A and B are shown apart, each in its own frame.
Chain A
Amino acid sequence: MYPKDYRYTKEHEWVKVDGSNGTIGITDYAQHELGDVVFVEMPKVGTQLKPRQSFGTIESVKAVSEIFSPVSGEVTETNPALAGSPELINKDPHGAAWLIKVKLADPKEAAGLMDAAAYEAYIAAQAKEHSA
């Protein structure tokens, strides 16, 4: 379910590091919690991001949620497919529905985030807390 080569935040974003480039999206857990996504607002290319900085919003039928950057860097690209097909976020959150690409300020920074196993344990604990 959760790709082994991605890193994850407690706020349910993921980042995939490829050299000095990073791709950022939201997790399957997040899309499930949101429900049907109907609109996504993205940052401008060139925006400088710091970790945990809000860089956009995702609107589901029910609610609006901010998206926070997992890492530092500069936005180099936003996913053009999401404007016309926001529902991609529900269908393929770890793949086709990536949100932005960034030029990483520090390619080693993401190593401080959770790996897939730690993230899976984290959401299992959250689900337990939820049902209690």
Chain B
Amino acid sequence: MFRRNNEKSSVTTPATAEVRKTALNSIHRQLGAKMVNFGGWDMPLEYSGILAEHEAVRTRAGLFDVSHMGEIEIRGPGALGLVQLVTCNNAANLAVGQAHYSGLMTSRGTFVDDLLVHKISDTHYLLCVNAGNQDHDFEHIVEHNKFDAKAENAGPRYSQLAIQGPRAKDILQRLTPAPLDSIHYYHFAFGKVSGIDCLIARTGYTGEDGFEIYFAPEHSEKLWSDLTHAGQPAGMIPCGLGARNTLRLEAGMCLYGHEIDDTTTPWEAGLGWICKMEKAPFLGSDVLALQKKDGLTRKLIGFEMLDKRIGRDGYPVLINGQEAGRVTSGGPAPFLKKNIGMAYVPPKSTAVGTDVSIGIRGQSEAARIVALPFYKRPQ
């Protein structure tokens, strides 16, 4: 079966780099989690199994340690100017207590990273960025800070837990006096959870309703334990990065290093809705304006396999027998009980219903382009 160590992390880490650990590392090991190196972090891949964890989040709730995610804080009168220059969504439209999904851009209009921007006040923004990119993101932001804003690489000051699923709100409500019903989707509030100061955001990366809470790392074990107890009667279980990936793929969400990177633009990735040209100039906006005018050479699509074989990351997409692109993420969609994936193909071949093939170990397997997202939660 295994001739080599086939555990591949999607973000490569130099062998010499020290593996980073979250404050919950020993808890994960006590729980018997299978651990994996992800973006330089020693993280739980799965506890009870990816299928069981995926199902728990779709039907009940799951608890994720996402403390590896990076936090960057921008403060001062120049904060908005800096955020506006380096990201593509329009942060001027955010109200205090509101968050949005955005892209940290290169001057070529491609992604340095994708991120969530939280507006804490007119002069204070909290950015949540990918674990493996956080140091590079911070340098990139500092490099473009001509606004005299104060930028802080604040990752070490935060732990983050995600409580996701249809029962997440009721579970979290048992531990907080904050009225969760009044925190709308992509909004946040400061409040106590289990007596601990938290930023409570109604955000997530699973396609379900849920919350992501940010707090000081020394409280990690208490919050994990209290949330576990509060969630147990409702069927909440701990979930790892394996389920986080199948959940986000089923929900059609991009993953940095797969669907998006510093060679892809928001237009190509189907993320035009986070790219607000009316606020230009911002980094790459000139290139993005040109690309919008001239047209794209490729576009991200979703596909489903028509037979049982699984199209996975990196496999070729064939149209009329010719390689037209590569699968960016592919695998089983446990809740939909299909095998799905995303890929870049030429714009003329992106219509829903188009028949394509995926090259799987030298054979060509039938697949069909379907609408994104694959899964949308019942409202």
Contact = CB atoms under 8 A, between A and B. Distances in A.
B46 A35 contact: yes
Contact of B242 (A26, A35, A41): A35
A54 to B, nearest CB: 10
Given A36-B50, A36-B51, A65 B34 contact: no
> Main SS of the interface on chain B?
loop
Interface in A35-66: 35-36, 38-39, 41, 57-59, 61-66
Interface stretch (B158-166, B304-312, B318-326): B304-312
B1 A11 contact: yes
A57 B195 CA distance: 51
A5 interface: no
14 contacts: A11-B2, A30-B2, A33-B2, A39-B310, A57-B361, A61-B50, A61-B51, A61-B246, A61-B332, A62-B331, A63-B6, A64-B310, A65-B6, A90-B49
A90 B48 CA distance: 12
A12 B1 contact: yes
Contacts of B332: 38, 61
Category for how many chain A residues contact B: 20 to 34
Category for how many chain B residues contact A: 20 to 34
A61 B242 CA distance: 8
Nearest to B334: A61
Contacts of B293: none
B348 interface: no
Contacts of A11: 1-3
Nearest to B36: A62
B179 to A, nearest CB: 38
A90 B49 CA distance: 10
A30 B1 contact: yes
Nearest to B46: A35
Nearest to B29: A131
Interface in A1-46: 11-13, 26, 30, 32-36, 38-39, 41
